[in-house]
Amino acid sequence: MLACSLPRPTGRRRPEIRDPAPDLILPGSVPLPCAGRLPGNMITSSTVQILALLRSLFTRPVTEHLPRPPGSARLARFPGSVQLRHVDAGSCNGCELEIASAFGPVYDAERFGARLTASPRHADGVLVTGVVTRNMAVPLEKTLDAVPAPRVVVACGDCALGGGPFAGGYGVAGRAGAIAEPDIAIPGCPPDPVAITQALRALTGR
Amino acid sequence: MRASLAASAGVSLLQVGAAGIGGPLLYGLMAKVRARAEGRAGAPVRQPLLDLRKLLPKERIHATHSSAVLPLAPLVLIASTAVAVAITPLISTGPALGRTADVFVIVFLLLLGSVAVALGGLDAGTAFGGMGASRAMTIGALAEPALLVAVLALSIQARTSNLPGIVSATLAHPQWIASPERVLALFALVIVVFAETGRIPVDNPATHLELTMIHEAMVLEYAGPELALVTLGEAMRLGLLLSLVANLFFPWGIAATASVPRLVLGLAVLGAKTAAIAGVIAVVEVSAAKLRLFRVPEILAAAFVLAVLAVVTGLVMP
Amino acid sequence: MSAALFLGGLGLGAAGALAGAALPARARVPAAAVLTAGACIAAFAAAASVLASGGTITFRSAEILPLTGVSLSLDPLGAIFVITTAVVGLAVSCYASGYAASGGSGRTATALLPLFITSLLLVPAAASVATFMAAWELMALSSLLLLLTGHRRREARDAAQWYAGMTHVGAAAILLALVLISAHAGGQSFAAIRAHAGSLPPAVRSLAFLLALAGFASKAGAVPLHVWLPRAHPEAPGPVSALMSGAMVNLGIYGIVRTGDGLLGGGQMWWWLAVAGLGVVSALFGALHAAASSDLKRLLAYSTVDNMGIVLIGVGASGALAARGHGVLAALAMVAALFHVISHAAVKGCLFLGAGSVQHAAGTRDLDRLGGLLRRLPATATLFGIAALSICALPPFSGFAGEWLLLQALLRGFSGHSAATATALLAGVAALALTGGLTAAAFVKAFGIGFLGQPRTPSAEAAAEVTPAMVAGMALLAVPCLVLGAVPGAIVPLLVKASGTALGGTPPAPVRAGTGLAIAGSTDVIQPALLTAALIAALVLAWALVRARARAGARRAEAWACGRELQTARMQYTATSFAEPLQRVFEDVLRPDRDLDVSHLAESQYFEDAIAYSSRIDDAIERHWYRPLIGLVSRWGEVARRAQNGSMHRYLAYGLVALVVVLVLA
């Protein structure tokens, strides 16, 4: 049985933690506001963690259902599975946060067969974010060259598509299209995780 | 004579095929358990098979300064793993050459695969390949004593190092399952399996940070079909190790004869056992953090101590 | 007939030495090589006939050595060592002809190498104390002089000093032991000694065995008497170090087996547990230092210490089991040890010849300065790779069959024995396991850093393939690696005969050798030939699948290095960095010597001018045991020097006092 109370943002006092065994909290660790209780008054944060993990194995996942984009099965370049190497060619990290969200529990792009890899040799293409700065122009080119054929370029965010707030700056070499024409464009500043997920689905056709 | 030769060859091919498909499925199962524990839907269990199918027609790329060792290493890995799978009693106690399936042969065939991948990593001529090879050989060197002494404990108890012999002896003496030397050897072997297959807490197979990679760093340079061979070889290795743990410690369900219904039952039981062990590994992976590289020798030394205790217990207690 | 063949072989060897010394420059090298090869082939044939028939060749002559005469007797145990030396000697003489022709060695080396090989062939056949010591000394002196051919380098002179000191202390110990038992036995021939072995008092036997063990173990490179090995083997020229590691260290093992089992008739259990203990320590120490070494030949030298430790584990287990009365198991352990001796000789000989070729072609043996040699020396590198895989005990090479036999011998010894034996066997298995892993790490480093990747220095980049004679020498030793790996059963019956001679008596064969190896009395069996065939078939099948799916060839592209603009050869891992994790784990044993030298600017102590860092791994035993001992001896020498003040009167007085003392005692 869980007694879970979320802290109220009063700003005056930290919320009182209803933990009946404070001596079990190790020095330096943050007491959880939400504590699970086992018989015998033994509470540790790792116990909570493992219990939560085991429980979520059997409950419904929080992932949202997304409708399949029309015609995707027919247009899929890499049916069933695509791996992309993400390259940050000078972005503000806004797009990276949205991409992380897209691969997170709510939008989970992995269930459609898409995955990010560490090495471009393992990838089918490059996922570019950010306006291409002078320092990143050569590395982006080398990364793209390292991807085995057949390959694809996915430009994510307005910066990569040539627009965005940094276009024309002194450190900017050009848009991603100056290195290679993107096959898939995901506009937005930053693009919605749903848009990113649906774009990846278009590659895998799932 | 010829019929039995054909039957055992058929069993071997069945085992290789089952490992070739079952290994990636085990990867997919572990990924699915991980995803569900994180609250995600996760990729389907057959996703690694789809990945392999996609990799096969892709372009092969070889580094400029590499030699013939780079493309040869995945071939040696998959050949040694396939031969080890073919001769080990996984589904049945009578695959081809199964009489010669000595437990030391399997251990050294797996070492051959590891050495091949390490040399392939060094041939790329990059810092990552060298780093991966160095760390992988260090961990392999420290896991080797625990592995050999743990199988020695089993061999002493069964009075043979022949794998079908150990399996048959365990089937004949079910009370051995609860004997202290078996339990200690099981713990030691499980820790070694984590080290040999490169799972958390020893190594994170899904990391993107090269400085935290151990196995992944050795295969950064492979593309297309060679990457598919390396991935498939590692998957078969995982399947082999989990099947060995399952069959040496809980051998019920293994087919004693080569009749088709028995083989199907053996395959199903083996699949269930390895799936269960893979599920446990996935739960451990999700709930533990990856160890610092220099803490890994401590856990391997613990495995070695457990294995030595297993041998000593087996000698002291009749 | 075979006696004539053996003696003819020895004569050809001596003739080769003369030819190398006397003939003019152009004829010298080929003549010496041909005569030495003939000597090896003749000795091989004689030893093979001894093994085939199971008999013995004897030869006695009272004229050759005054006062004692020469007595030779080649039985199956000695024949194994003669065969090993003959094969290694044949390969080395072929290699040395190419090495000398390309300017590697001069007249002294060409003359001494046949002499060295002849003495190596003579030692296993010696059948009296005098013959044995004469052959032993000849071996030591010829190898010392060969080591001194590099006398212009300070390291070579140092190595020769250590070698000379330790080999002569060892020879003194052996001489003392042999004299002790022959004095009690009343005759100096080995047959007489064996006949009287039972009547020796146990204290004398134990003392003699320990003295002999000290001398022979030092020659074999057992820790802690091994310190000459990592100095002498690297500094010797390529062919000489191959002979030293491939043939000379084996004779240490021969000496232990001959003294313990043959002369002293088996002995007590604790002798053999001591031998096994030495083996365990040597194996672990050698493997660890090999894994941490970045000098290619020093790595190989420590690997020799490791492998001789493994052989000593087998010999110790064999003796301990024989002392308990388990003849079949003892024979199995001895067969395993002898198989490992032969396999190691071929493998280590090939590796040292390869290292010699590398040093000749690239000018250095420092792994941190090599790289990319597989594309520049393809034949040498391929043969080195085969030998490296074999020494890691990987199937389907010969090292695996030896390792399997030894593991089986240790496994069988567990049931129903005392706690001491069980502990020793457990330590043996654990040592074998750990050294197996460390050896794999060491040789992945040696082959991967030295031969793969990009060349790290211009001299490595400029290396070119060596002469065909040198490649042929290596190939001759690589063939046994492959053949013995696929068909170990070919020599196992011969080893069973040899172990029968060593242990005395004829127990039933412990290993049945058909197409595979089967341990008698159990279901444990391996089929290396079928395993090899299966591996090759699987490899070909995988390759065909890859070629079938891939329509075009592979594209050559720059290696992936995170898109860096500049990627140089210096960015690769070096041997030192490869070994660093293992060095950290075993820091207490290795005790690296680190030196950080920071110099500051004159103007301010807060700004650094230069920082120099150096790290070295010395042999810990040499530093902590030998250097204090040498310091002690030299201080004692300083004290004793006061007795030598140059006065003739005082020296005459010394002589008078000594004469009086001897007269009183006698």
Tens of pLDDT, residue by residue over A80-121, are 999 999 999 989 999 999 999 999 999 999 999 999 999 999
Please check the confidence at residue A24 and state whether its pLDDT lies above 80: no
| DSSP strands (E only) in C455-583 | 511-513, 517-519, 525-526, 555-557
Q: What percent of chain C is modeled with pLDDT above 70?
A: 99
Give the per-residue pLDDT at A175.
66
Residues in chain A with CB shorter than 8 Å from the CB of C560 are: 119-121, 146
Nearest C-alpha neighbor of C368 from the set C441, C298, C450: C450
For residue C56, give both structure tokens: 């013995």
What's the one-letter identity of residue C330?
A
* HSE, side-chain direction, 13 A CA sphere, residue A183: 18
Q: Which residues does chain B have within 8 Å of residue A50's beta carbon, measured at their own beta carbons?
A: 287
Alpha-carbon span A81 to A95, nearest angstrom: 23
Cβ–Cβ gap B135/C573 under 8 Å: no
- Contact flag C558-A142 (C-beta cutoff 8 Å): yes
**What pLDDT, on a 0 to 100 scale, did the predictor assign at position B135?**
96
State the Cα–Cα distance between residues C198 and C184, nearest whole angstrom: 11
Distance from C-alpha of B168 to C-alpha of A168, rounded to nearest angstrom = 75
The pairing of strands B61-63 and C70-74 is unpaired
Inspect the interface and report whether the beta carbons of A145 and C562 lie closer than 8 Å. no
- Listed in order, strand segments (DSSP E) in C548-619 are 555-557, 593-600, 608-616
Q: Helix, strand or coil for residue C609?
A: strand
Q: Do C444 and B119 touch (CB under 8 A)?
A: yes
Interface mutation vs chain A, best among B53, B54, B229, most A CBs within 10 Å: B54
Say which DSSP state C295 is in.
B
What gap in Å lies between CA C33 and CA A136, rounded to an integer?
Answer: 63
The answer to whether the CB atoms of A145 and C560 lie below 8 A apart is no
Q: Over pLDDT 70: what percentage of chain B? A: 99
- Confidence band for A38, pLDDT divided at 50, 70 and 90: very low
Q: Measuring CA to CA, which residue among C298, C244, C256 is closest to residue C88? A: C244
Partner residues linked to C59 by β-bridges: C72
| Touching C: B residues 82-101, CB under 8 Å | 82-83, 86-87, 97, 99-100
Closest Cα in chain C, distance from residue B41 (Å): 32
Average pLDDT across chain C, whole number? 90
Distance CA C547, CA C545 (A): 6
Say whether residue A138 is in contact with chain C using an 8 A CB cutoff. yes
Q: Residue B196 in contact with residue B237, Cβ under 8 Å?
A: yes
Task: List strands edge to edge, sheet with A184-186.
Answer: A114-116, A82-88, A125-129, A152-156, A184-186
Q: How far is C566 from chain A (nearest CA, A)?
A: 11
Alpha helix segments (H runs only) across C521-563: 528-549
- pLDDT per residue as tens digits for the range C374-385: 999 999 999 999
Query: How many whole angstroms separate alpha carbon C392 and alpha carbon B116?
Result: 12
Residue C62: pLDDT band by 50, 70, 90 thresholds? Answer: confident
pLDDT of residue C539: 94
**Pick from C454, C539, C555: which is nearest to B79 by CB?**
C539
Show the tokens assigned to C547. Answer: 């070629």
Question: Which residues touch C354 (CB under 8 Å, ≥6 apart)?
Answer: C380, C381, C383, C384, C387, C474
What average pLDDT does the segment C609-635 reach? 91
Q: Do A119 and B220 form a contact (C-beta atoms < 8 A)? A: yes
Tell me how far CA of residue A60 lies from CA of B39, B283, C26, C134, in angstroms. Answer: 8, 17, 88, 86
**How many angstroms separate the CA of residue B204 from the nearest CA in chain C?**
18
- Write the pLDDT tens digit of every residue in C326-377: 888 889 999 999 999 999 999 999 999 999 999 999 999 999 999 999 999 9
8 Å CB contact between A123 and A150: no
Res. C551 pLDDT band, cuts 50 70 90: low
Residue type, C429: V
Residue A205 φ then ψ, to 5°: 70, 25
Chain A residue with Cα closest to B207: A118
Q: Which H, E and C letters describe chain A, residue by residue?
A: CEEECCCCCCCCCCCCCCCCCHHHCCCCCCCCCEEECCCCCCCCHHHHHHHHHHHHHHCCCCCCCCCCCCCHHHHCCCCCCEEEEEEECCCCCHHHHHHHHHCCCCCCHHHHCEEECCCHHHCCEEEEECCEEHHHHHHHHHHHHHCCCCCEEEEECCCCCCCCCCCCCCCEEECHHHHCCCCEEECCCCCCHHHHHHHHHHHHCC
Residue of B nearest to C522 (CA): B160
Would you state the pLDDT for residue C281? 95
Q: How many whole angstroms separate alpha carbon A35 and alpha carbon C451?
A: 58
Q: Does residue A35 have a pLDDT over 50?
A: no
Mean pLDDT of B76-100: 88
Query: How much is the pLDDT for C513?
Result: 78
From CA C249, how far away is CA B66, in angstroms rounded? 37
Give φ, ψ of A89 to 5 degrees. -90, 35
Backbone angles phi, psi at B191, to 5 degrees: -60, -40
Here the tokens at position B177 are 């399952």
Of C355, C450, C551, nearest to B67 by C-alpha is C450
Measured from the Cβ of residue B283, the count of other Cβ atoms closer than 10 Å reads 18
Please report which confidence band the pLDDT of residue C269 belongs to, taking 50, 70 and 90 as the band edges. confident
Q: Indicate which of A136, A142, A179 best probes the interface with C, i.e. most C CBs within 10 Å of its own CB.
A: A142
What does the buried/exposed string (b/e) look like for B45-68 if buried means 16 or more CB atoms within 10 Å of the residue's CB? bebbbbbbebbbebbbbbbebbbe
List the one residue out of C247, C214, C272, C240 whose CA is nearest residue C346.
Answer: C247
- Give the list of residues 6+ apart from residue A191 with CB closer than 8 angstroms, or none: A95, A98, A156, A157
Distance (Å, rounded) from C-alpha C430 to C-alpha C337? 17
The answer to whether the CB of B122 falls within 8 A of the CB of B131 is no
Q: What mean pLDDT, rounded, does chain B reach?
A: 92
CA distance B163 to B172: 14
Higher pLDDT, B52 or C191: B52
Phi/psi at A60 (5° precision): -70, 135
**What are the boundaries of each domain within chain A?**
77-204
Predicted local distance difference test score (pLDDT) of residue C65:
77
pLDDT value of residue A2 = 35
A171 in contact with chain C, both atoms CB, cutoff 8 A:
no
Between C63 and C201, where is the model more confident? C201
Q: A119: which chain C residues are within 8 Å (Cβ-Cβ)?
A: 560
Q: Could you report the per-residue pLDDT of C493-514, keeping only the tens digit for each?
A: 889 888 888 887 777 788 887 7
ipTM value > 0.90: yes
The answer on pLDDT for A11 being more than 80 is no
What DSSP line would sit under chain B, residue for residue?
A: -HHHHHHHHHHHHHHHHHHHHHHHHHHHHHHHHHHHHTT-----TTHHHHHHHHHTTSPPEEETT--THHHHHHHHHHHHHHHHHHHS-SSBS--TTGGG-BHHHHHHHHHHHHHHHHHHHHHT-SHHHHHHHHHHHHHHHHHHHHHHHHHHHHHHHHT--BHHHHHHHHHH-GGGGGSHHHHHHHHHHHHHHHHHHT-TTT--TT---GGG-SHHHHTTT--HHHHHHHHHHHHHHHHHHHHHHHHHH--TT-BSS--HHHHHHHHHHHHHHHHHHHHHHHHHHHHSPPPPGGGHHHHHHHHHHHHHHHHHHHHH--
Residue type, C229: L
Give the Å distances, CA to CA, from B257 to B12, B85, B164.
Answer: 13, 18, 12
CA distance C516 to C485: 11
d(CA A78, CA A199): 13
- Phi/psi at A19 (nearest 5 deg)? -115, 110
**Per-residue confidence band for A23, with pLDDT thresholds at 50, 70 and 90:** very low
C161-203 pLDDT, tens digit per residue, is 999 999 999 999 999 999 988 888 878 888 888 888 778 888 8
Q: What is the Cα–Cα distance from C260 to C268, expressed in whole angstroms? A: 9
CATH of span A77-204? 3.40.50.12280
Question: How many C-beta atoms surround the C-beta of residue C138 within 10 A?
Answer: 17
Nearest to A145 among C557, C562, C564 (CB): C557
pTM (2 decimals)? 0.92
* % chain C with pLDDT above 90: 63
Taking residues B218-228, report their average pLDDT.
Answer: 93
Q: How far apart are CA C442 and CA C351, in angstroms?
A: 13
Chain C CB contacts of A143 below 8 Å: 563
Domain locations along chain C? 268-545, 569-616, 621-665
Q: What CA–CA distance (Å, rounded) separates B249 from C170?
A: 51
Q: With bands split at pLDDT 50, 70 and 90, how would you rate the model's confidence at A52?
A: confident
**Partner chains of C (3+ C-beta pairs under 8 Å):** A, B
Strands (DSSP E) found in C311-452 = none
* A-to-C residue pairs, Cβ atoms closer than 8 angstroms: 22
